[in-house]
Amino acid sequence: MKLFEYEAKEIMKSHGLPIPQGFIAKSVDEAVSIAEKIGLPVMLKAQVLVGGRGKAGGIKSASTLDEVASISKYLFSLKIKDENVESILIEKKLNIMKELFIAITIDRSERLPVMLASSMGGMDIEEIAKMHPELIVKLHIDPRIGILPFQARKVAQKIGLKERQIITFSDIAVKLYKIYEELDAELVESNPLAITNTGDLIIADARLNIIDDALFRHKEFQELALKRMPESTELERLAKSKGVRLVDLGGEIGVIGNGAGLTMATIDMLTYYGEKAACFLDIGGGASAEEFAKALTPLIEYPRVKAILINILGGITRCDEVARGIKKVYEELKFTKPLTVRLSGTNEEEGQRILKEIGINAFTSLDDAVKNVIKQVRGI
């Protein structure tokens, strides 16, 4: 789950990190009165969760109250990659001499947390990594110990900091790591981490993403996480309203499988034969008849889905149980969309017998099932 910049900064501030003075405005009037209170010039920063905000014109400075009014009006009308701007962070404008970069994230390959730092802040870090990989300093961290100040001081030196800035930088790094660990973040970042004209370091921009799998132990974010779903399509929203998680893939063949890898492989098979799946829907292991009914309904209702392919490899999941689920939905919903079922494994004969009762000839081979659903969708 992503947090807005102002939410990330509030958390950082409560951990004693240096943050520019600022407040959040929900309207033009609020923006003007905040600017009056904190004093001009100010920065106006559109609060959105998508990246590329600066390039999209979502960050502006203003030196008069009239400018604050006109710019905030403009920002509230802005759509950044389909995301509406609902609030603006108004901050006192900093006198920035240099921009650094600092981030703490997970290095999947090394299986360790990593701190990344660079003297080339302010730019897109992926671009720095491509053009100047030597300018990114990496520090792998023992997750049982965390960042020690001496490690951060060495990084500070490597990115060209001197004297008291070394101490300030290491203090910031240690505190950011503390946030990373306490909140189960997948990313804590400041880009830029600014050096001001007085030589102070201050977190000019901030990002903080929380790991979804860790939300169970962060009650403070649970409600927010429910509201803050990532960008979704109509089909994904329809499914979600029925309590089903799926990924919209844009095609016409709805795919339900048991297990993530098997479902992905089923979708890849459709592509192999030149068709596109409508969705990725992993029903998981041991799904009950009710769960099957739930998963099927959005695909039955959504008009773009022209045919449905169910691929079940019964291991712990029993084919007869699955067949009973399909039969139940079939009889209750009386839908007419073509349905292809592949059932193989535990109790496969019994499962196939049950499906025959409702006129479905289940396949045992995945290849045959995929070819059949393609025939159905092409109307052959």
Partner 1 sequence: MTILLNRENRVVVQGITGRQGSFHTKLMLEYGTKVLAGVTPGKGGIYVEGLPVYDTVAEAKDLHNVDTSIIFVPAIAAYDAVMESINEGIKLIVVITEGIPPNDTMKFVCSAKEKGSIIIGPNCPGIISPGEAKVGIMPGFVYKKGPIGIVSRSGTLTYEIAWELTKAGIGQSTVIGIGGDPIVGLTFTDALRLFEKDDETEAIVLIGEIGGDAEERVAQIIGKEIKKKIVAYVAGRTAPEGKRMGHAGAIISAGSGTAMSKIKAFKDVGVEVAERPMDIPELVKKVMKK
**Contacts (CB under 8 A) with partner 1, residues 3-42:** none
Residue closer to partner 1 (CB basis): 32 or 104: 104
User: How far is residue 371 from each of residues 96, 271, 340, 367, 376, measured CA to CA in Å?
Assistant: 62, 11, 10, 6, 9
Residue closer to partner 1 (CB basis): 153 or 371: 371
Q: Is 258 in the site for partner 1 (CB under 8 A)?
A: yes
CA 350, CA 255: separation in Å to the nearest integer? Answer: 23
The least distance separating partner 1 from the CB of residue 86, rounded to whole angstroms, comes to 22
- Exactly one of 115, 202, 244, 249 binds partner 1 (CB under 8 A); which one? 249
User: What φ, ψ does residue 313 adopt, rounded to 5°?
Assistant: -105, 110
Return the DSSP state at 346.
Answer: T
State the binding string over 127-146 for partner 1 (x if CB under 8 A, else -). Answer: ---------------xxx--
Q: Is 257 in the site for partner 1 (CB under 8 A)?
A: yes
SS3 242: coil
Q: Is 313 in the site for partner 1 (CB under 8 A)?
A: yes
- Exactly one of 38, 96, 174, 247 binds partner 1 (CB under 8 A); which one? 247
Task: Using the rule CB under 8 A, give the single segment among 4-12, 61-69, 293-301, 365-373 that binds partner 1.
Answer: 365-373
246-250 long-range Cβ contacts below 8 angstroms, 24+ apart = 246/279, 246/280, 246/281, 246/298, 247/279, 247/280, 247/281, 248/278, 248/279, 249/276, 249/277, 249/278, 249/279, 249/280, 250/276, 250/278
Residues 6 or more apart whose Cβ sits within 8 Å of residue 205 = 5, 190, 191, 192
Task: Using the rule CB under 8 A, give the single segment among 1-9, 164-172, 278-286, 330-338 that binds partner 1.
Answer: 278-286
- Exactly one of 77, 95, 108, 197 binds partner 1 (CB under 8 A); which one? 108
**Contacts (CB under 8 A) with partner 1, residues 158-187:** 181, 184, 186
Residue closer to partner 1 (CB basis): 30 or 184: 184
State the binding string over 68-107 for partner 1 (x if CB under 8 A, else -). Answer: --------------------------------------x-
The secondary structure element, H or E, covering residue 127 is helix 125-131
User: Per the structure block, which two tokens stand in for 7?
Assistant: 């939410």
CA 118, CA 171: separation in Å to the nearest integer? Answer: 16
Residue closer to partner 1 (CB basis): 263 or 376: 263
- Exactly one of 280, 292, 330, 363 binds partner 1 (CB under 8 A); which one? 280
Q: Is 225 in the site for partner 1 (CB under 8 A)?
A: no
The secondary structure element, H or E, covering residue 136 is strand 136-140
User: Per the structure block, which two tokens stand in for 246?
Assistant: 């799926």
CA 111, CA 143: separation in Å to the nearest integer? Answer: 10
Give the interface size with partner 1 as a residue count (CB under 8 A): 51
Task: Using the rule CB under 8 A, give the single segment among 154-162, 195-203, 256-264, 332-340 that binds partner 1.
Answer: 256-264
Strand-pair partners of 308: 254, 339
Cis-peptide into 192, omega within 30 deg: yes
Q: Is 347 in the site for partner 1 (CB under 8 A)?
A: no
The least distance separating partner 1 from the CB of residue 262, rounded to whole angstroms, comes to 4
The secondary structure element, H or E, covering residue 278 is strand 277-282
Q: Is 113 in the site for partner 1 (CB under 8 A)?
A: yes
Q: Is 269 in the site for partner 1 (CB under 8 A)?
A: yes
User: What φ, ψ does residue 80 adopt, rounded to 5°?
Assistant: -105, 115
| CA within 13 Å, CB half, 242 | 21
Residue 308 identity (one-letter amino acid): I
Q: Is 365 in the site for partner 1 (CB under 8 A)?
A: yes
Q: Is 276 in the site for partner 1 (CB under 8 A)?
A: yes
- Exactly one of 112, 131, 225, 229 binds partner 1 (CB under 8 A); which one? 112
User: Per the structure block, which two tokens stand in for 47?
Assistant: 């609060």
Task: Using the rule CB under 8 A, give the single segment among 7-15, 67-75, 199-207, 340-348 that binds partner 1.
Answer: 340-348
Under the rule (CB under 8 A), what is the footprint of partner 1?
106, 108-109, 111-113, 126, 142-144, 181, 184, 186, 211-214, 216-217, 247, 249, 257-265, 267-272, 276-277, 280, 282, 285, 313-316, 344-346, 365-367
